[in-house]
Structure 1
Amino acid sequence: MIQRIQSIFMLLAAACMSFLYLPSFEFAGSETPEVRSAGLFTDGYFNSYDNTILVSLIAGAISLAFINIFLYKNRSLQLLLSRITIVVIFSIIVVGGILFYLNFENRQSEMEHVNIRLGLFIPFVSMALLYFANKYIIKDNKLVKSMDRLR
């Protein structure tokens, strides 16, 4: 039953998170020389390659979401792994925010030159897709339990 709607949501979430490895999906960027001297913005962009923790968390979120597609026979495990994936994606947001804050801790004037990029919104989209997948997994679980009562 891979063609269920929650499987499609999980596949879309894994695909969205894999976009963070592409060079055009940065979290933030700046072309100003003052900002480029900062630790995260040496190449002008803050992306997933700037920290190994971010790279490993993103890889974990992608693999959990993709593996979760094939666990359709065990809905309770699928629901648990989907919730763990949401926590991992939330930790990506927190770690990225902490890294960004520590980079500009005492230099508030330089933050005016930083532009938010498309990659910042991808974890939120993935979390929303996994939330909808959870909703449909719970709906399937209720349907199966109601059919068991009729037997």
Structure 2
Amino acid sequence: MIQRIQTVFLFLLAVAMILVLIFPIWQQVNPDQTQLMTLTAWSLTTIDVASEEVLASESKAIVIGILAIVSVALALFSIFSYKNRGKQMMLNMFNSLAMVANVGLIVWFTHTANADFNPNVNGAFVLGFWAIFAALVMNMLANRFIRKDEKLVRSVDRIR
């Protein structure tokens, strides 16, 4: 049924991944504090702090946004697959893989951008990055409760 606790966790997972789409993921300031580099789910942008003019923008980071959308879609599809708990757990496994791939891409993008922009200082991961870890925890909790429901159903079938 849709009113189970795992539905709440899957919904929170979808909300967390939407936060990844909306908020910045990583920020870095150059040594003389005149430029700010920001990674979002859609682009890697360098901005002049004084004039707020966009100096450079790379759109190869769009893969992060696409993977976040895939995670949202998998979570919502998993919510409505409540009648088939095995399918739900499989969807959540693929969702975990998509989120881990997303984290890997983010680390790779930030590492390469940091090496070009300001290699002496690390940038700061902000809300968009940490929301992925919250989504991973929600996915793990949802799987736990789906498994618990499956065990309960199997134990009731044994009694009959």
What is the TM-score of this pair, normalised by structure 2? Answer: 0.81
Give the aligned partner of residue 47 of structure 1.
40
Q: How large is the RMSD of aligned CA atoms in angstroms?
A: 1.9
Deviation above 3 Å: which 4+ runs of structure 1? 30-37
More helix by share: 1
More strand by share: 2
Q: Which has the higher contact order (CA 8 A, sep 6+)?
A: 1
Q: Give per-residue Cα distances to partners, 1:7-34, cap 9 Å, x unaligned.
A: 1100000011011222xx2111235487
One-letter amino acid matched to 1:28: W
Question: Within 2, Cα distance between the matches of 1:94 and 1:35?
Answer: 28
Give the aligned partner of residue 72 of structure 2.
62
Question: Within 2, Cα distance between the matches of 1:31 and 1:102?
Answer: 15
Describe how 1:1-151 pairs up with structure 2 within 5 A.
Answer: 1-22=1-22, 25-32=23-30, 44-50=37-43, 51-105=61-115, 107-109=118-120, 111-112=121-122, 114-151=123-160
Question: Within 1, Cα distance between the matches of 2:34 and 2:81?
Answer: 45
Query: Which sections of structure 1, spanning at least 5 residues, go unmatched?
Result: none
One-letter amino acid matched to 2:159: L
Asked whether the 8 Å contact 1:86–1:130 carries over to 2, the reply is yes
1:35, distance to aligned residue in structure 2 (A): 8.1
Identity, % of aligned positions: 27
Query: Which sections of structure 2, spanning at least 5 residues, go unmatched?
Result: 44-60
Query: What is the number of equivalent residue pairs in this alignment?
Result: 142
